Amino acid sequence: MQIKQPKEPDTRRLFFALWPTNSVRRALAEIARGISCGGKPVPVGNFHVTLVFLGPVDTMRQDCVERIATEISDVGPFHLRLDRLGSFARAGIVWSGTTNTSPGLISLVTKLNQGLADCGFQPERRAFTTHVTLFRKADKWVENIPHDPVEWPITDFCLVESSTLPTGARYRVLHRWQLGNSQRKKVGSTHSLSSGNG
């Protein structure tokens, strides 16, 4: 008689993110067109700021994750100004980021990490760097180069699922939380990605 092995729990690869408006995407795309770094450009529809990367998450932990997000939604709206280029050389990434990190963003990321510890997640030890990835697999690096400012009002944050496909990764926004209240918006838009999670 065969002994049935316990079934592995179904998981989703999740992360929290800021999802840009179309006008922010267009402005970043214009900046990316002026960059020569030998890398693969990230499609405009895939631009985002990763707040906290969670990795594989089962249903029970996802419920905990969503509860934490709802509980910290008292963080008010804030503003980002993307105004400089930088690189993560080891990862081959070129990005647009901020000279000065918004206190509202710091508060949101801090509260997410603190709350997620109650769901069994280890807090991120690396310093948080506000960035939107513009290129992957770059072989030329840019360091702290100013660009025309892109103004981005932040009114919500998202829980996003990442799936790996033969053509690359696909991102799907699962839930959206309005900043300044505890009401969660459920959405189902799907965004195709070339690769990666950051």
For residue range 97-121, list pLDDT tens digits in order. Answer: 999 999 999 999 999 999 999 999 9
Asked if residue 4 is part of any domain, the answer here is: no
Number of domains forming the structure of the chain: 1
Task: Quick: pLDDT tens for 24-64.
Answer: 999 999 999 999 898 899 989 899 999 999 999 998 899 99
Give the C-alpha separation, 79 to 102, whole Å. 7
- CB-based burial, 144-173: b 16+ in 10 Å, e otherwise: eeebeebebebeebbbbbbeeeeeebebbb
Give the C-alpha separation, 150 to 170, whole Å. 25
Asked if residue 2 is part of any domain, the answer here is: no
Asked if residue 6 is part of any domain, the answer here is: no
Average pLDDT of the segment spanning 77-88? 96
Banded model confidence at residue 9, pLDDT cuts 50, 70, 90: low
Give the C-alpha separation, 180 to 177, whole Å. 9
CATH of the domain at 106: 3.90.1140.10
Asked if residue 176 is part of any domain, the answer here is: yes
Task: Quick: pLDDT tens for 158-198.
Answer: 999 998 777 766 889 999 999 986 555 555 555 555 444 45
Residue 100 belongs to domain spanning:
11-192
Asked if residue 1 is part of any domain, the answer here is: no
Q: Could you give the residue numbers annotated as active site?
A: 48, 131
What counts of helices (H) and strands (E) characterise the chain?
A: 3, 11
Asked if residue 186 is part of any domain, the answer here is: yes
Asked if residue 155 is part of any domain, the answer here is: yes
Asked if residue 141 is part of any domain, the answer here is: yes
